[in-house]
A and B are shown apart, each in its own frame.
Chain A
């Protein structure tokens, strides 16, 4: 009896008082939250705004000491120069290489992680393999650069998009395997057993059951891998020699010369090359969230 009374009092007072006393507390907290959010946003957005500002500022103006972020006389001159200079071709190169490398890594990584999760390997070879893969990923790129150069040369794939796509697998594939591992592991074995009882062989199970259930995982891995490949610089520098084959990170470096740095063009490329990523991330994120919400309870 006394226990009931003791608990009932606070419950009662809390539920009644909350709407009144809660208002100020709530708004103070909300205000703090928005302030923190605003600070973080400014911190992360400032470079982008600055980049956009420079991209639209005529040459000569951005050397002035003004602190203004926005151009006084906006111009599209840098974009026109880029267009004429062959930016679209470099963008296409980057798209093909990054998307190609990502799709290849994603499909191979998916199959590999499935095999590692579901198949039995003697003597813990699966663990050894995963460690090896991790070690490769952690190696500084320059260590493998020369062997890879020999390899590409032997295959006749130097200075080609396909060559670059293959070389990128050194980093994208381990990443995909490790990322997808936990998603594949989360697909209940009983689902696959049910499917195999219903006559679905390995490939059909992969296609109809495992793949759709790993959708959110694949989407997340896709976007991270794509960014990785999109921004890759070192391998592109080492293995591409013809300027028209360049990817954007390599192309950017053209605008920093011994005599002059073409800030306008530089920022223009920065802006244009991050746009596709932003769009992609936005699109995939929507799918990601929906995917997570849809997942089984």
Chain B
């Protein structure tokens, strides 16, 4: 087991910068998830850690050892590819044995390790099959088994579940989490599915355009997104944003004017203890973020929402609607009917404020405080 440290890591292809100034400390035994939209450089980062891509700048350390120039095999890592990359001409058993043979592991030990992995992943009935004779989920398990038998210090996963159907994906998510608990190894996991990130991660790294936007536990990212991008990316359904104006401001409270003219009072401390010091002034234009769970039906409210579409999920429903021209998504246990109009209230403790650059006011507070 080992920690992974990335220092000022950068990657360039010809004159295109794909990763810039990546600083990250992956703790020993941690399940770290890299998320971000397509093309943001997640795979590239993972492949650099694996040694499949060269490093353009900065350092990679695994277990304290600088590995920039090390061959992939000497880094103590195992990688599960999105395509699984199982050797099609070898049986399941052969696939798992290959790496051990290459490493010169003696036969008895080899068989014992493979047997263990086979039992752990319930592949007993499949050991003599070829990959073409397996289902997607089974191939996935073989790919994981091939990684396990090598007893790596760090596991790297590149979107391992993206080729599975939704139900199997749910199962495999749980199984992978269990596996992590059992093995206790460091795992770095790439996905663009925020649900996978939220449910599996000890910590999540949100990336965009080759830089890290925020690092934190799933709940930190959910409740304290550092900026609009993270707020939009984490949590489902996506956060609602409304343009608001600071109507009045003092040490205790912050009064916001909603786009429809109403004002609402909030505690200033929610957005940091020293809101006044952040340079926030009356009349400043902000973006108010509120999650679907932060909107509730309240017929006494004078915010009237036109209900357009209702997505009924059984226990809850997502209500898509409009207040004048502003589209909103609301989560509610008892859905109104489409075409009707309902009163809506914003829960004051579930609001986020972002400045014109999209930076969260709360995180600005912290930064100002730290400086």
Chain A residues with CB under 8 Å of chain B are: 188, 190-191, 193-200, 204, 208-209, 212-213, 215, 294-297
Q: Does B160 contact A (CB under 8 A)?
A: no
Could you list which residues of chain B lie within 8 angstroms of chain A, going by C-beta atoms?
50-52, 71-73, 77-79, 81, 83, 85, 87-89, 98-99, 102-103, 130-132, 146, 150
Contact assessment for A197 and B52 in the assembled complex, using a CB-CB cutoff below 8 Å: yes
Given A188-B85, A194-B87, A213-B88, 18 further pairs, Cβ under 8 A = A190-B81, A191-B88, A193-B85, A194-B81, A195-B87, A195-B102, A197-B52, A197-B77, A197-B78, A198-B99, A198-B146, A199-B102, A199-B103, A200-B98, A200-B102, A213-B89, A294-B88, A294-B132
CA distance A294 to B130 in the complex (A): 9
The docked-state distance in angstroms from the alpha carbon of A294 to that of B133 is 10
Q: Are B150 and A198 in contact (CB under 8 A)?
A: yes
Of the candidates A212, A213, A297, the one whose C-beta lies within 8 Å of that of B132 is: A297
Cα of A74 to Cα of B181 in the assembled complex, Å:
82
Whether the pair A198, B98 counts as a contact (CB closer than 8 A) is yes
CA distance A199 to B102 in the complex (A): 6
Give chain B residues whose Cβ lies under 8 Å from the Cβ of A204: 102
A191 with B102: CB separation less than 8 A: no
Q: A188-B83, A198-B73, A199-B99 are in contact. Are A295 and B88 (CB under 8 A)?
A: yes
Cβ distance A296 to chain B, nearest Cβ, rounded Å? 4
Is B83 a contact partner of A190 (Cβ separation < 8 A)?
yes
Nearest-Cβ distance from residue A214 to partner chain B, whole angstroms:
10
A193 vs B103: C-alpha distance when bound (angstroms): 16
**B145: shortest Cβ distance to chain A, in Å?**
13
Alpha-carbon distance A197/B78, docked complex (angstroms):
7
Minimum CB distance partner of A193 in chain B: B52
Chain A nearest CB, measured from B165 CB (Å): 17
Query: What would 7 A/B residue contacts be, using CB atoms closer than 8 Å?
Result: A193-B81, A198-B73, A198-B150, A199-B103, A208-B87, A209-B87, A212-B89
> In whole angstroms, how far apart are the Cα atoms of A294 and B71 in the complex?
32
Q: In the complex the two chains form, is B73's CB within 8 Å of A197's CB?
A: yes
Cα distance, A297 to B132, chains bound together (Å): 6
CB of A197 within 8 A of CB of B89, answer: no
A208 adjacent to B98 (CB under 8 Å) = yes
Give the complex CA separation of A54 and B319 in angstroms.
Answer: 89
Give the docked Cα–Cα distance between A197 and B87 (Å). Answer: 13
Please report the C-alpha to C-alpha distance between residue A196 and residue B102 in the assembled complex, in whole angstroms. Answer: 10
* CB proximity of B149 to chain A, nearest CB, Å: 10
In the bound assembly, the distance between CA atoms of A204 and B104 in angstroms comes to 13
Contact A296 B79 (CB under 8 A): no
Interface centre among B71, B72, B88, B103 (most CB of A within 10 A): B88
Expressed in whole angstroms, the minimum distance between the Cβ of A128 and any Cβ of chain B is 22
Asked if residues B72 and A196 are in contact (CB atoms below 8 Å), the reply is yes
Closest to B158 in A: A190
Q: How far is the CB of A124 from chain B (nearest CB, A)?
A: 16
**Bound form: Cα–Cα A198–B150 in Å:** 8
Please determine whether A199 and B85 come into contact, CB atoms closer than 8 angstroms.
no
In the assembled complex, the Cα of A204 lies from the Cα of B146 at a distance in Å of: 18
CA distance A227 to B50 in the complex (A): 46
Residues of A within 8 A of B87 (CB): 191, 194-195, 208-209
- Bound-state CA distance A16–B111 (Å) is 57
Q: Which B residues are CB-close (under 8 A) to A197?
A: 50-52, 72-73, 77-79, 99
Chain B contacts for A188, CB-based, 8 A: 83, 85
Instruction: Give the CA-CA distance A199 to B74 in the complex, in Å.
Output: 8
- Measured CB to CB, the closest approach of chain A to B3, in angstroms, equals 20
- Given A213-B88, A294-B89, check contact A195 B98 (CB 8 Å): yes
A215-B88 Cα distance, complex, nearest whole Å? 12
Chain B: CB-nearest residue to A297: B132
Do residues B73 and A196 form an inter-chain contact, with CB atoms below 8 A? yes
How far, in Å, is B135 (CB) from chain A's closest CB?
A: 11
Task: List residues of chain A with CB within 8 A of the CB of B72.
Answer: 196-197
How distant is the Cα of A262 from the Cα of B221 in the complex, in angstroms?
92
The 7 closest A-B pairs by CB, nearest first: A198-B99, A199-B73, A296-B88, A199-B102, A194-B85, A190-B85, A212-B89
> In the complex, what residues of B have CB within 8 A of residue A208's CB?
87, 98
A6 vs B10: C-alpha distance when bound (angstroms): 61
Q: What residues on B are CB-neighbors of A295 within 8 Å?
A: 88
In the assembled complex, the CB of A219 is this many whole angstroms from the nearest CB of chain B, namely 14
Find the B residue at minimum CB distance from A187: B88
